[in-house]
A and B are shown apart, each in its own frame.
Chain A
Amino acid sequence: MPKDSGIGASPKRREDVRFLSGTGNYTDDIQVNGQAYVHFLRSDIAHAKINGINLDAASAMPGVIKIFTGADFEGVGGIPCGWQVTDRHGEPMQEPAHPVLAQGKVRYVGDQIAAVVAETLEQARDAAEAIEVDLEELPAVVDMKAALADGATKVHDDLTSNLCYDWGFVEENKPAVDAAFEAAAHVTTLELRNNRLVANPMEPRVAIGDFNRATGDSTLYTTSQNPHVIRLLMGAFVLGIPEHKLRVVAPDVGGGFGTKIFHYAEEAFCTFAAKALNRAVKWTSTRSEAFISDAHGRDHVTKIELALDADNNFTALRTDTYANMGAYLSTFAPSVPTWLHGTLMAGNYRTPLIYVNVKAVFTNTVPVDAYRGAGRPEATFQLERVVDKAARELGVDPIALRRQNFITEFPYATPVAVEYDTGDYHGTMDALENMADLSGFEARRKASEARGKLRGFGVNCYIEACGIAPSNLVGQLGARAGLYESATVRVNATGGLVVMTGSHSHGQGHETSFPQVIAEMIGIDESMVEIVHGDTANTPMGMGTYGSRSLAVGGSAMVRATEKIIAKAKKIAAHLMEAADADIELKDGAFSVAGTDKSVAWGDVTLAAYVPHNYPLEDIEPGLEETAFYDPANFTYPSGAYACEVEVDPDTGKVTIEAFNAADDFGNIVNPMIVDGQVHGGIGQGIGQALLENAAYDENGQLLSASYMDYAMPRASDVPFYGVDHSSQTPCTHNPLGVKGCGEAGAIGSPPAVINAVVDALRSGGHDIHHIDMPVSPSRVWQAMNG
């Protein structure tokens, strides 16, 4: 019997009512009195020297208040990078300056040359048309390997080359890895590209800067997944505003998927300009602008090699990856191809020796940073593709080869620095095999063939490290931030609670799921708990939501704060019932004295805390409010097995997804409905990457797919209903809820399943094909089939 409240229940989401009735409060819905509008003039050339900017005509246009250029930001800080990677020789990465508005050069199509602030948006746009910019075009650097060639044009003249870093992991393992390849009975090699994507949350980014001259306080309203991080980065590193004079508000946010983690120049500009002009300044991105200004994702070119012994045991893995950074280092860009990617290369398997090399490269393209999964989809894709290829080369069943090499004993220390606490990889594979009706596949294939179609089945596993992570560890790895989370639990006199969390909800449903945890702990109704998030003015310093960390880290902070509340409330209850603290039990919203029929209700205790007439004032303070900061001991390691069934039309090359099944292990689950929804969404994005999406540049650095006319977003008709199963549950051992992250799994686990299925389909039609790069568009499939 499913529960109807508390942990494990699926109550209807409370945030839905405002979203369904058009009364949400997204950033663009906010109008600040007297606000002006900014339009950014962006470079339409990928790489050019700025010889001059003539603002005369534009400044005289109707409604123009001021036009800013890079010269206005001399002496102002640049956009900072939050992670420093150390290369394989012990040297720090090359880190270029990143001005708010371009200074001297433009380095990608979309780079901001000038910002026009005007009374209306139309006036700002009209005036931008009248700015005369003298750009001297330079050769554009687009291809990563060409960017590293001797004599290549440099994106940043003051750096020694376009190489950001050359990272080796684990460097000291390399000789042993190479020796294992020498001794291997079989080596499978695969070269592939992980296609560049644009995150595309449906709400474009918005920033509104406001300034109060009377108090000297600045406020930024922004579409962010982590307002405290923005306040710290922008305040301390760009504009020099201390935290107590800067408020950052991220209200309802229409999706993030990583690209709203980062601190962007537009946020700093609007905050800066509001103070300079003493009026609010608003920027709303258009979708076309988003394509050339939101940080992109993925874009790795990889060679992976897998060594096996004569019994098909994996003996070593070696990878060589080029990772595109784009023109500047976005906030967490250097961490994605390194610590979020190399550490995942063991996957679900007992491969004893692993070496990962990553060369991060500057190019004249939009900066690249974390997108749903961030490094982990790139790791999973190459690993699960090479395992599939190995199975085909060896003539063994792909599932059997995986099962043979599964890690089965936990905790398990991988050769790539992480220790998995729990997992049951055979369990998720069993669940998947049940769902996917493997025994019926041959009949389905025959039915497809009877209709002139090729049918393929693809399977893969994934492991994810999420709930990022212990601060002392990430500090050693180069993070310039701590990665704890915070919660303040404020109990009101009549017993209701407000939780002020550093986590941020932009679709994840925290307003519904977080109260379930507190309701379970205290035994009160969920409606008595309210969640406040997204405003630095009324939440404790927190690191926000990304990397599937909200419940595992933010939820744990909330549990710790609630434990403090309960401990104090028990003391009050003990006083009220004239009993010892240790004898007090809390159940179903009432405190009782063990072994007696004495009891006092939750509300009576909370009232006593605020009306302390009969109260142990000599021992404890009045009031009932506690804060906790939670710094996890480890990542959480969700895992799973996914399967995809496709049909390929041999006449056109079109691939259709006929079935998609996902078996995940997320440990304990607070709200199954929300968890299923997270997996659905991730699968949708993963199918998008595999079949449709591609941020394509031409050789001049022009983004060819810069609108929804050209960038193929997955639509309802591109995907089927998905099967999901979360019955395999191995709880996390180191957080109080035993939960693992679920937000990115779908996007990590699904692309290799699709491609494995497509390759299987094509091979069933007699085509000797081992790989097709994503997206497997009809033209690519047709070309693969027809040479």
Chain B
Amino acid sequence: MSQVTMTVNGKEMSGDAEGRTLLSQFLRETLGLTGTHVGCDTSQCGACVVHVDGVAVKACTMLAMEAEGSSVDTIEGQAAPDGTLNALQQAFQDHHGLQCGFCTPGMIMSAADLLKKNPQPTEAEVRHHLEGNICRCTGYHNIVKAILAASGQDVSSIAAE
């Protein structure tokens, strides 16, 4: 066991980790930030996407120790301190972009990364970007619509949510 320290959602946090402890596991079990979800063990589902030093990362593909000294942003840090949802979160609610909610943290973190790099993506670009995020509930319809809406595009011609 070694102590690992990182800045999570703007706050310095420390905990013990084995060499084999994954960042996803460290966030959930050691730091108690259970918003980051684990939906697979082959780095396919994307439920665990977080941002490490501003870059979207599947937290199951990284050891906790690799994040030593890094700045990590998780779903818990996305809303304003008073709980007000950010624009992307709000678009997901407005357009029914989630059902069971399990893939949602990864979807939000992944979509935030897309919009940072590509503020006005096309539908095809959104769908391509989400290839690493699996949702079983929505058929993706309202997720794609919500992301397009969050980018400021008019989604009124897309079938109702």
Q: A residues bordering B, Cβ < 8 Å? A: 10, 12-13, 15-24, 26, 28-29, 31, 122, 200-204, 252-255, 257, 286-288, 506-509, 672-674, 676-677, 680-685, 687, 707-709, 713-717, 719, 721-724, 746
Contacts and interface: CB of A to CB of B under 8 A. Distances in A.
Interface stretch (B51-59, B62-70, B93-101): B93-101
A712 to B, nearest CB: 11
28 contacts: A19-B100, A20-B92, A20-B108, A22-B34, A22-B36, A23-B35, A26-B37, A29-B28, A122-B18, A201-B136, A202-B137, A203-B100, A254-B100, A255-B102, A255-B136, A508-B99, A673-B161, A676-B161, A680-B142, A681-B136, A681-B138, A687-B139, A708-B45, A709-B44, A713-B136, A716-B133, A717-B124, A723-B159
Nearest to A289: B41
Contact of A717 (B96, B128, B135): B128
Contacts of B83: 17, 21
Most buried by A among B44, B127, B139, B140: B139
Contact of A203 (B37, B44, B76): B37
A20 B85 contact: yes
A116 B79 CA distance: 41
Given A22-B105, A677-B137, 5 more contacts: A202-B39, A253-B100, A680-B142, A709-B42, A722-B159
B35 A254 contact: no
A19 B142 contact: no
Contacts of A684: 136, 138-141
A677 B93 contact: no
B150 interface: no
A202 B102 contact: yes
B159 A202 contact: no
Nearest to A671: B96
Contacts of B101: 15-16, 18-20, 24, 252, 254, 507
Given A122-B18, A684-B140, A716-B127, A19 B96 contact: no
Interface in B133-158: 133-145, 158
A202 B75 contact: no
Interface of B: 18, 20, 28-29, 33-42, 44-45, 47, 74-76, 78-79, 83, 85, 89, 92-94, 96, 98-105, 108, 123-124, 126-128, 130-131, 133-145, 158-161
A717 B139 CA distance: 11
Contacts of B18: 122
Contacts of A31: 29
A26 to B, nearest CB: 7
A288 B159 contact: no
A19 B40 contact: no
Nearest to B130: A716
Contacts of A715: 127, 130-131, 134, 140
User: Which of B75, B138, B142, B159: most chain A Cβ within 10 A?
Assistant: B159
B137 A716 contact: no
A674 B99 CA distance: 9
A721 B145 CA distance: 9
A16 B93 contact: yes
Given A13-B96, A21-B78, A681-B99, A721 B136 contact: no
Contact of B35 (A21, A287, A509): A21
A680 B130 contact: no
A10 B138 CA distance: 17
A10 B160 CA distance: 11
A746 B45 contact: no
B136 A257 contact: yes
Given A674-B96, A677-B161, A722-B159, A21 B139 contact: no
Nearest to B158: A721
Given A507-B101, A715-B131, A255 B137 contact: yes
Given A13-B93, A19-B104, A507-B99, A708 B134 contact: yes
Contacts of A201: 100, 102, 136
B148 to A, nearest CB: 10
Contacts of B93: 12-13, 16-17, 20
Contacts of A722: 139, 141, 159
Interchain residue pairs A-B with the least CB separation, the first 9: A22-B35, A684-B139, A19-B101, A254-B102, A507-B100, A708-B44, A22-B75, A507-B99, A287-B40
Contacts of A26: 34, 37, 102
Contact of A713 (B96, B124, B130, B134): B134
B47, B94, B124, B134 — most chain A CB neighbours (10 Å): B134
Q: Which of A18, A254, A676, A683 has the most C-beta atoms of chain B within 10 angstroms of its own C-beta?
A: A254
A130 to B, nearest CB: 17
Nearest to A710: B42
B156 to A, nearest CB: 13
A200 B45 CA distance: 11
Contacts of B136: 200-202, 255, 257, 681, 684-685, 713
Given A122-B20, A721-B159, A677 B104 contact: no
Nearest to B92: A20
Contacts of B144: 716, 721
Given A26-B37, A201-B102, A708-B42, A21 B134 contact: no
A746 B137 CA distance: 11
B105 A16 contact: no
Given A22-B34, A29-B34, A203-B39, A680 B138 contact: yes
Contacts of B130: 715-717
B20 to A, nearest CB: 7
Nearest to B133: A716
Contact of B85 (A17, A506, A509, A724): A17
A254 B104 CA distance: 10
Contact of A716 (B20, B89, B104, B126): B126
Nearest to B77: A22
A22 B41 CA distance: 20
Nearest to B25: A121
A201 B136 CA distance: 6
Contacts of B89: 20-21
A677 B143 CA distance: 11
Contacts of B137: 202, 255, 507, 677, 681
A291 B25 CA distance: 21
A202 B34 contact: no
A584 to B, nearest CB: 39
Of B36, B41, B105, B136, chain A has the most CB atoms within 10 Å of the CB of B136
Contact of B76 (A17, A22, A673): A22
Nearest to B160: A676
A203 to B, nearest CB: 4
Contacts of A707: 40-42, 44
Contacts of B41: 286-288, 707
Nearest to B47: A202
A709 B45 CA distance: 10
Contacts of A717: 124, 127-128, 130-131
A724 B139 CA distance: 13
A116 B76 CA distance: 34
Contacts of B138: 677, 680-681, 684
Nearest to B141: A680
Nearest to B89: A20
* Residue of B29, B36, B75, B137 contacting most chain A CB atoms (<10 Å): B137
A672 B160 CA distance: 9
